[in-house]
């Protein structure tokens, strides 16, 4: 069963509470929460205080995607803010990925790594047993509304085969440029979770958009 995780980066920030409250009835599975520090990526979004503010408004899992340097510094703040899933970039300044993943688990959250479009899946193969999920970026991180990079499909297939051949249960999440058309390609290639920002929040009918992305 494919999961859809709308990215609230594309929601109306002036009506964030309302947007989050509606997501469950619109058919969302997870709330995707994009944290940017203006350093790892050329944009700044929001942090643990926003997570804490939306936590009481939904019982959907909050899926925190850390696009920051020193991601380990944010494990405890996000755990305290009620996050359920924390993913960190392999390209970030975290040198001890394995230990960081263990620290996320020790804090009671699901853990995963994120790979930029230019990063090979081999950057995560040795930590796969520590990953509940791997997030493959299908755009360069920093902004919503970009076009899906087709090469991602080959990465999904490679990672799917690596996970299956090792009998692991790691989930594959895709983030960036996902719309009903690119979602179908990702599902066929073996993705489990599809993040969608613009395709959900800029749609006339977000519930219909979520349904079309799930397929």
Q: Under rule CB under 6 A, how many of the chain's residues touch ligand DX5?
A: 21
**Binding flag, residue 89, Zn ion (CB under 5 A):** no
Give the nearest distance from C-beta 166 to Zn ion in angstroms: 26
| 159 or 193: CB nearest ligand DX5 | 193
Can you read off the two tokens belonging to residue 11? 């929601």
Give the nearer residue to ligand DX5 in terms of CB position, either 129 or 151: 151
Helical H runs in the chain?
16-23, 48-54, 75-80, 97-106, 152-165, 180-189, 198-201, 206-214
Decide: 121 and 145 in contact? Cβ < 8 Å: no
Distance of CA 32 to the CA centre of its chain: 6
Residue 37 found at the interface with Zn ion (CB under 5 A): no
Both tokens assigned to 142 = 């920093």
Rg (CA), the chain: 16
Residues marked active site are found at 34, 175
- Tokens 């902004």 correspond to what residue? 143
Residue from 29, 34, 84, 91 that binds ligand DX5 (CB under 6 A)? 34
Residues of 36-51 as b/e, b for ≥16 C-beta within 10 angstroms? bbeebbeeebbbbebb
Please, which residue, 106 or 184, has the CB nearer to ligand DX5? Answer: 184
Q: Which stretch binds Zn ion (CB under 5 A): 53-61, 103-111, 155-163, 173-181?
A: 173-181
**Span of 17-25, 32-40, 150-158, 178-186 interacting with Zn ion by CB under 5 A:** 32-40
Kindly state whether residue 79 participates in binding ligand DX5, applying the rule CB under 6 A: no
Tokens representing residue 103 in the block: 């620290």
| Contact flag: residue 34 with Zn ion (CB under 5 A) | yes
Binding site for ligand DX5 (CB under 6 A): 7, 9-10, 32, 34, 65, 139, 141-142, 144-146, 175-178, 195-199
Q: By CB under 5 A, name the binding residues for Zn ion.
A: 34, 65, 175
């Amino acid at each position: 069963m494919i999961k859809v995780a709308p990215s609230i980066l594309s929601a109306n920030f002036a009506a964030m509470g309302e947007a989050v409250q509606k997501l469950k009835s619109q058919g969302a599975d997870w709330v995707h929460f994009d944290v940017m520090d203006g350093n790892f990526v050329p944009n700044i979004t929001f942090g643990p205080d926003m997570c804490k503010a939306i936590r009481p408004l939904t019982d959907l899992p909050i899926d925190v995607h850390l696009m920051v340097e020193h991601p380990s510094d944010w494990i405890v703040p996000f755990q305290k803010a009620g996050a359920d899933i924390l993913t960190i970039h392999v390209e970030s300044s975290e040198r001890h990925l394995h230990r960081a993943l263990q620290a996320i688990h020790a804090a009671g959250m699901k853990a995963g790594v994120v790979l930029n479009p230019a990063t090979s899946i081999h950057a995560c193969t040795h930590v796969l047993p520590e990953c509940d999920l791997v997030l493959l970026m299908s755009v360069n991180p920093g902004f919503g509304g970009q076009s899906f990079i087709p090469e991602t499909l080959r990465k999904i297939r490679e990672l799917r085969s690596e996970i299956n051949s090792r009998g692991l249960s790691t989930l594959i999440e895709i983030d960036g440029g996902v719309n009903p058309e690119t979602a179908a390609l990702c599902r066929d290639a073996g993705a489990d979770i599809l993040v969608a920002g613009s395709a959900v929040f800029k749609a006339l009918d977000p519930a219909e958009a979520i349904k079309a992305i799930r397929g």
